[in-house]
Structure 1
Amino acid sequence: MAVRILGLDPGLRVTGWGLIEAEGNRLAHRGAGVLRIAEAAPMAARLADLFEQVSDLIDGQAPHEVAIEEVFVNRNPTSTLKLGQARGVVLLAPARAGLPVFEYAPNLIKKSVVGTGHAAKEQVAMMVSTLLPEARRDVPADATDALAVAICHAHHRGAAGRAAAGGGR
């Protein structure tokens, strides 16, 4: 049975999404895009908008499972905190919809898709288009990253499911 996996690359201005279908070792592209949040709005309104957009995306695409990229910690603590808030909202939307949610570190995503945890964005994009030939090459970078998250989950979902059943994530 095919499993629809929604990959999300959280951001407060742009959140990428990518939907794939996995059946055994076969992967198929089912959609990708970005959710845009108005930068001028107050933080609470931006987070509410992000929650609504992710919830609408889940309703429209009907995934079975959701995979989300973990926070990449950068040098600016304020930016990291804001990204964490956006990521919390992105985690909340599928959880409220009753979907299983899995999280993956950026290096594991790159290693799963490219073969090395320190791959450049261009390498990830090239491998995503190789693994999902139906995906257009002009997919925005944030959507390509989200497809990479979904691919990573497809590769690891057996182990992730066993860990979730045992209480770990």
Structure 2
Amino acid sequence: MRVLGVDPGLTRCGLGVVEGSPGRPPKMIAVGVIRTPADLDVAKRLVRIEAELEEWIVEHRPDAVAVERVFAQQNVRTVMGTAQASGVAMVVAARRGLPVALHTPSEVKAAVTGSGRAGKEQVTTMVTRILKLAERPTPADAADALALAICHVWRGGVTSRLEEAAGSRANLEALAQAQSRLQVARLRAAVAAQEGRR
């Protein structure tokens, strides 16, 4: 499974592509940051983020996109920018038919470090170790994007398999019900045909 992790933000939007499967060490494919100038109109900043996200998806062909779930902070302006960038990421992925998963910061930290309260330094250190990188990914937004992708590969892969299994069971049950209905309909038709002959 190849996952594009997006750490949303207006000034810096972290991007990280990771490939792997649950229970195996993942591999980094790409990492980077989309930067937009603070003095640019918000709408134009969002267009830049959208265009770069499109390029990343075309170039790296992820199977899914993992976006950090926006949570309430005291700085409303920061939350608004983060939410707007997050929305753009989800729209770009949906337009391409890619599944989108939202992971909370504590969920990502727990997946990567074992603690939902880990600091940014710990997350960056563990991302560097897990992906066996020669250098620490910087800035923190890039490391966070890789952490999101790792989290989804490890957790999302298991979840999607469970959903697939549940879907397969549901399909089998629906098929069995349809076959039963068909058999009943055939029996009724046969009975009606015999009664018509009498």
**Offset of 1:77 from its aligned partner?**
2.0
- Structure 2 partner of 1:110: 109
Given that 2:128 and 2:136 are in contact with CA atoms closer than 8 Å, whether structure 1 keeps it comes out as yes
Q: 1:14 maps to what in 2?
A: 12
Q: More relative contact order in 1 or in 2 (CA 8 Å, sep 6+)?
A: 1
| Contact persistence 2:25–2:130 (CA under 8 A) | no
Between stretches 152-161 and 50-59, larger displacement belongs to 152-161
Structure 1 residue 68: Cα displacement = 0.8
For the residue of structure 2 that corresponds to 1:66, the secondary structure is strand
Paired position in structure 1 for 2:141? 142
For 2:127, the equivalent position in structure 1 comes to 128
Q: Which runs of 5+ in 1 are unaligned?
A: none
8 Å CA contact 2:66, 2:149 repeated in 1:
yes
Structure (1/2) with the larger helix percentage: 2
**1:1-169 alignment, distance < 5 Å:** 3-24=1-22, 25-134=24-133, 136-161=135-160
In the superposition, the TM-score normalised over structure 1's length comes to 0.89
Q: 1:138 Cα deviation (Å)? A: 4.5
Work out the CA distance in 2 between the residues paired with 1:138 and 1:151.
14
RMSD: 1.9
CA contact 1:69–1:106 (8 Å) conserved in 2:
yes
Q: Encode CA deviations 1:68-109: one digit per residue, 9 max, x unaligned.
A: 111132102232122211111111111111111111000000
| Distance in structure 2 (CA, Å) of the matches to 1:60 and 1:30 | 11
Change (3 A) 1:55 1:135: farther
Greater mean alpha carbon deviation, residues 18-27 or residues 67-76: 18-27
Between the aligned partners of 2:26 and 2:157, the Cα distance in structure 1 is 15
Instruction: Please list every run of 5 or more consecutive structure 2 residues that lacks an aligned counterpart in the other structure.
Output: 168-198
Q: CA deviation at 1:21?
A: 0.8
User: Percent identity over the alignment?
Assistant: 39
Highest CA radius of gyration, 1 or 2? 2
Deviation track 1:97-123 (CA, whole Å, cap 9, x = no partner) reads 111111100000000100110001111
Give the AA of the match of 2:20: A
Q: Is 65-74 or 108-117 further displaced after alignment?
A: 65-74
Q: Quick check: which one's strand share is greater?
A: 1
- TM-fit CA distance, 1:164: 6.4
* TM-superposed deviation, 1:154: 1.1
TM-score, L = length of structure 2: 0.77
